[in-house]
Amino acid sequence: MLAEVPILDGGDRLGKDRQLSYPDKFRSYYRVSLQALRSSPPDSVICGPVYIAETSSGLPIRFDTYVYSQPESKKAVILGYNADDIPIAYRHSVYCSRGPSVIAQGYVGTALRGSGVGSVTELVHQDMLSRIAQRTGVLVVYEALDNNSNVLRRAISRYKDFIPKGGDPFCDAALNLRERVRVQEQEQARWYAIFGAYGKFGYGVSLSYDADTFKAFPPRNSSDGFDLEQIDRICLERDVTTDEYGRVSYSPRVTTIETGPLHEVRERKLSRLSALPSLPEAIRFSHVSPTY
């Protein structure tokens, strides 16, 4: 029998308490996806690899991955957990066939800001899409939509409209509006850091797709091209390259890949699915070594 993949491998990396905060969309998508996965017929759920990776700040994360069917599409779900098995990252991509390619769009959310969680989640996402491309045998194109810019413009507009109408710039309402602008500016900066054109994660300006930027994932052509469900665990690192113009780019690099009998791997991952934790309320998080 295969050994259980540990929740995490790592010690105290943050060195200070951090506040976990779940955006509304994170909460909604996490609950909907978990419910859909658990209510789907087990034979229709694809159990993807368990990814073990670290953020740039040294925080280890375990990612459980699954795929389930929706009407006319499939949904790949990536769920990230800290050493206490508390959800800190959520990612999904909905993909369907469009002509000779598979087109994907999705959402990414984190509950721990400023620790590189979003970046390492994107590394897992890109490796997963490459393996989905291998499974389907066709090119997968991920379309990134810059919805944050519209939210930011609305936040700025509300604040600018408030002051000329006689609003006190130092009252609670004005301060809340200013804080909303600040938060959305940070969100926009994070979006560009990952999905921005010609940025570190390889997205380009979209001219042929219904998106602001895009990235194409061809079927893998490597010695580790195992079937998605045969893979038990993947240890992933960030591969950093610099081009001739000094531009830095990131891509996923597999350091360890473990496989096993398909039936045993699926059985353990379906058991894990039934036991995945619900979202807690916003809490103080102090990273500690896991026991197992």
> pLDDT by residue for the chain (292 residues), tens digit each?
334 444 444 444 443 456 788 989 999 999 999 999 999 999 999 999 999 999 988 999 999 999 999 999 999 999 999 999 999 999 999 999 987 789 999 999 999 887 899 999 999 999 999 999 988 889 999 999 888 787 878 888 887 777 666 667 777 777 888 888 888 888 888 888 888 888 889 998 877 677 789 999 988 655 567 888 999 999 999 999 998 888 889 999 999 999 999 999 999 999 999 999 998 865 544 433 232 2
Q: Would 277 be classed as within a structural domain?
A: yes
* Structural domains counted in the chain: 1
The verdict on residue 63 lying in a domain is yes
Token pair for 68: 């389930």
Tokens 């809490």 correspond to what residue?
283
Instruction: Report the alpha-carbon distance of residue 198 to residue 246 in Å, rounded.
Output: 12
188 falls within a domain: no
Kindly report the pTM of this predicted structure: 0.84
Q: Is residue 26 assigned to a domain?
A: yes
Give 106's strand partners: 93
- Written as six digits, the tokens of 157 are 């507009």
Q: In this structure, is residue 35 part of a structural domain? A: yes
In a domain, 179, yes or no: no
Range of the domain at 277: 18-139+218-285
User: What is the chain's Cα-based Rg?
Assistant: 20
In a domain, 247, yes or no: yes
